[in-house]
Structure 1
Amino acid sequence: MKIRNRLTILFTAIITAILLFFAITVYLAYADFRDEQYEKRLEQQAYTKARLLLEGQISPSVLKVIYQNQPNTLFQEEMAVYDEHNQLIYHDDIREDFVKETSAMLRQICQNGKLRFKQENRQVVGFLYQHGEKTYIVTAAAYDEYGLSKLANLRNTIAITFIISILVVVIAGRFFARQALAPMADVVRQVGQITATSLHNRVPEGNGRDEIAELAITFNLMLDRLEKSFAAQQQFVSNVAHETGTPLAGIIAELDLAQRRPRQTAEYEQIIQRVLNDARRLGRLTDGLLNLAKASYDPSVITMKPLRIDEVLLDSSHEVIRKRAGYRVDIAFDPKTDTGEPILVRGNEYLLRVAFANVMENSCKFSADHHCLVKIMPAEHGCAVYFEDQGIGIQPGDIPHLFTPFYRGSQARQAEGHGIGLSLTHRIVTLHNGRISVSSIPGKITVFCIHLPL
């Protein structure tokens, strides 16, 4: 069910309940008021009759004639008077006696002094009348034709008004629901028009204060993230195509050249070596891309456990030396803080090993002696690992872009690489809630610092 229909039904139900409560309250209040007023009038007229009969000594026949010709006589009224021995001494018309006064009823009037009840559609009152030393019991009954007709008319009026009101409420509820949700419909329509090629479009945020505006703002923030993600993806695909195209083109060219004419064994060995180098370069690029994808996983699906930072660094150094026989990596603890106790961090062993190996390899690659010095130092709420090399350094203008995927600095083009290693390291460190920084003096020294929480 649409929200518009749900709001209409809810609005109609609430207003219907209020109107129904109000209508029932008015009807019952008027019914009680009519009963009370008619009973008082009936009792007053019966009291007047009893007074004329007992104190005015008017004969019953004359009393009947007087009240039958009176214009304000109650409809179908009858009155009876009993003495203290429950003997009937007066009745308007014994042949049409509607209220059958029983001894129990007369006894109840004597005990309570007054009695009121309804019998079918007639209202009945009974009370005691004191005359001299004698006490009489007076009963009277009448049918409130005028009052009941007014009550019925009120009931019909309320019913018709209630039905018409419900119809008006339904129409008004539909209208107001449509008006209230019109901005929402605009947002839905505009969002539906946004595709992968039009992520630059945004949803109007209206006044910026109501819930619809909050929804529009949330949509726009999501579109900002999507636009950045799509742009990064396109840039990533473009860079991958460029980086993989170079070694593939080299492999194809070498093999195409080799098959054009017969060659000597030494020439074939040279071609095979060049093809092998391009294939290895392509393999390293593939490994880097796979690790970059792993570092983009949701942190909740990556296994974390306590790790000894020195053991992870040692494994990373062995991996770098195994791949590059001419590289040297030395690991040292700060003598001022070295207590012999292992320093533990919580992380993923494989990803941290990849991150450390990338920085080590980068330091060795750009230093003349292919040497990297690694220092481990305890830090507040964690540990700091420094990677130092005496190499060509990094230009200040390159440092802000150093961790951008596929970015290569102005001095890095003289060495082999793809611009993946440091961006991958940055993602892995961020994944572990750590941070990485770099400081460099061109031509002298470069120091990378990775801070990891315990």
Structure 2
Amino acid sequence: MKIQTKIAIQFSLIVGSLLAVFSFVIYQLFAEFREQEYYDRLKSKAITTAQLLIKVDEIDRDLLKIIDKNTLTALVDEKVLVFDQQNKLFYSSLDDHVIHYGNDLLNRVRKEKYVETSDDENEVVGLLYELNGQNYVILASAYDKFGHSKMANLRDILYSGLVISILVTVLLGIFFAGNALGPVNQFISQISTITANNLRERLDERHGKDEIGQLAAAFNKMMYRLEQSFELQKSFVSHASHELRTPLAALKSEVEISLDEKLSVAQHRGILENIRKDINRLIALSNSLLQIVRPLKSSINSAVEVRIDDVVFQAQDDLLLSKPEYRISVEYAKEPENEKHITILGDEPLLKTVFTNLISNACKYSANHQALVAIDFNETHTLVSVQDEGIGIPEEDLTAIFEPFYRSKNALTISGFGVGLSVCKRIVELHKGKIHVESQLQHGSKFLVELPHIL
């Protein structure tokens, strides 16, 4: 079932229920008002009859009957009975109508002094009238013909109005639901045209003034992230293919030479040395590609407390072990009084990758292969800076160096794949941190990593 149909049905049910309840309440209130009003008229009639019959000596029973028969305000099927103290009938206004009564009703009236009840369709009022020490019971009965006629008319009007209102509500519900969901139908039509070849298509956000506009804005943000992911995938495939092609082509050429030419042992050894270099290059490239994939798939939901200085010293030891020519200096900007200032929640191997890459780059791009690492902190973050005195980064490249496979023009002669910094940025962001760079050509670069500590 379409949402438009569901909304129309639900809207109609809600409005119809409210109208039905409203009509029922109106009918019940009017019924109670009619009944109470008629009981008051019967009570007034009973009191008037008692006063005329008992208090006025000039009026006897026969005269009172004549008055009751000829009064203009007589009620339909009106009957008034008066009983003396021994429950004997003292007066009856008419002889051709009967009020069904018994001693139980008379005793009840004497006990409660005023009773409202009914006899079939007639309303009956019983009251106790006291005069000169005598207690008279008066029963007045009549049929509210006009009141019941009004009730029937009101019932017909409410039924008709309810049916017509429900029909109108259904039509209006369909109309307004269609209008409200019209933009959604437009979105569906636009979304159905979006494919992998036109991910730049965006929905009309309608200025974001309502939920539909907010939905469109959220969808557009999702499309932007999806587009970025596709672009990253294309870039990854393109650069990876390019980087893989060079060593593979070299391997192919060297193998073909060794097969086609009659070479000496020394020449074969030289070819094997070249093959080993190309294989090492392929291994390094594969490791770099794995570094890109790993942070994208990693989760730090099971993060543990990690001291940043321990991670930095581990990265220093590993680099000096593999590259003894590197000169790495690690110092504290200020001594931490509380170790929590330099402790964060995170993934230790990933953090080690960050500082290994930054320190390795600092040494690799410096003529003296030297890197200065400073550990600092503030009220909210642990700060680690890695500084070198290398070739620096051109200003126009500063905004792009964190993109995968991007390399500055002045670094193309130095071996590398342009992967490390993009990996560092992704890992730092996974830890809810930031990474900044300051650089000046021929004067070196400084990378600053900010990670929220646990204090």
2:190 is the alignment partner of 1:190: yes
Equivalenced residues, count: 447
Contact 2:342/2:377 (CA < 8 Å) preserved in 1? no
Listed one character per residue, the Cα deviations across residues 375-415 of structure 1 (whole Å, up to 9, x for unaligned) are: 434343424343424x4444444333333221222221222
Given that 1:77 and 1:141 are in contact with CA atoms closer than 8 Å, whether structure 2 keeps it comes out as yes
The TM-score with structure 2 as length reference comes to 0.83
Whether the aligned pair in 2 keeps the contact of 1:123 and 1:141 (CA below 8 Å) is: yes
State the Cα deviation string for residues 284-322 of structure 1 (Å, max 9, x = none): 01101101222224543464432362x544443444355
Alpha-carbon distance between aligned partners in 2 of 1:86 and 1:409, rounded to the nearest angstrom: 120
Q: Separation in 2 of the partners of 1:116 and 1:440?
A: 100
What SS does structure 1 have at the residue aligned with 2:116? strand
SS at match of 1:283: helix
Q: Distance in 2 between matches of 1:220 and 1:439?
A: 33
Change (3 A) 1:238 1:98: same
How much is the aligned-residue C-alpha RMSD, in angstroms?
Answer: 3.5
Structure 1 residues 28, 427: CA separation in 2 closer, same or farther (over 3 Å shift)? closer
Residue 251 (structure 1) aligns with: 251
Query: How many angstroms apart in 1 are the aligned matches of 2:105 and 2:65?
Result: 25
Could you tell me how far 1:431 is from its partner in structure 2?
A: 3.5
Separation in 1, partners of 2:438, 2:129:
115
Show CA shifts across 1:392-443 (max 9, x none): 4444443333332212222212222211123323333444444444444544
Residue 39 and residue 432 in structure 1: after superposition, are their counterparts in 2 closer, same or farther (change >3 A)?
closer
Structure 2: which 5+ runs fail to align?
A: none
TM-score under structure 1 normalisation? 0.83
Amino acid at match of 1:212: I
CA contact (8 A) 1:373 1:387 kept: yes
Distance 1:139 1:161 in 2: 40
**2:180 corresponds to 1:180:** yes
Pair 68,351 (structure 1): closer, same or farther in 2 beyond 3 Å: closer
State how far apart, in whole Å, the 1-side matches of 2:30 and 2:451 are: 81
2:73 aligned with 1:75: no
Distance 1:243 1:183, change over 3 A: same
**Are residues 92 and 232 of structure 1, via their aligned partners in 2, closer, same or farther at CA, if it must alter by over 3 Å?**
same
Counterpart position of 2:28: 28
* Residues 24-52 of structure 1, C-alpha deviations (whole Å, 9 max, x = no match): 23222322332233334444555566637
Instruction: Spell out the pairing of 1:202-351 with structure 2 (5 A cutoff).
Output: 202-301=202-301, 303-307=303-307, 309=309, 311-324=310-323, 327-333=325-331, 337=334, 344-346=342-344, 347-351=346-350
Partner of 1:91: 92
8 Å contact kept, 2:296–2:426: yes
Q: Which amino acid aligns with 2:382?
A: G
CA contact (8 A) 2:392 2:444 kept: yes
CA distance in 2, matches of 1:220, 1:86: 90
> Please, which moves more after superposition, 6-15 or 286-295?
6-15
Q: What 5-or-longer segments of structure 1 have no aligned partner?
A: none
Between the two proteins, what is the percent identity of the paired residues? 32
Q: Indicate the SS of the match to 1:259.
A: helix
> Are the structure 2 counterparts of residues 67 and 196 from structure 1 closer, same or farther at C-alpha, using a change threshold of 3 Å?
same
- Find the counterpart in structure 1 of residue 358 from structure 2: 359
1:420 aligned partner: 419
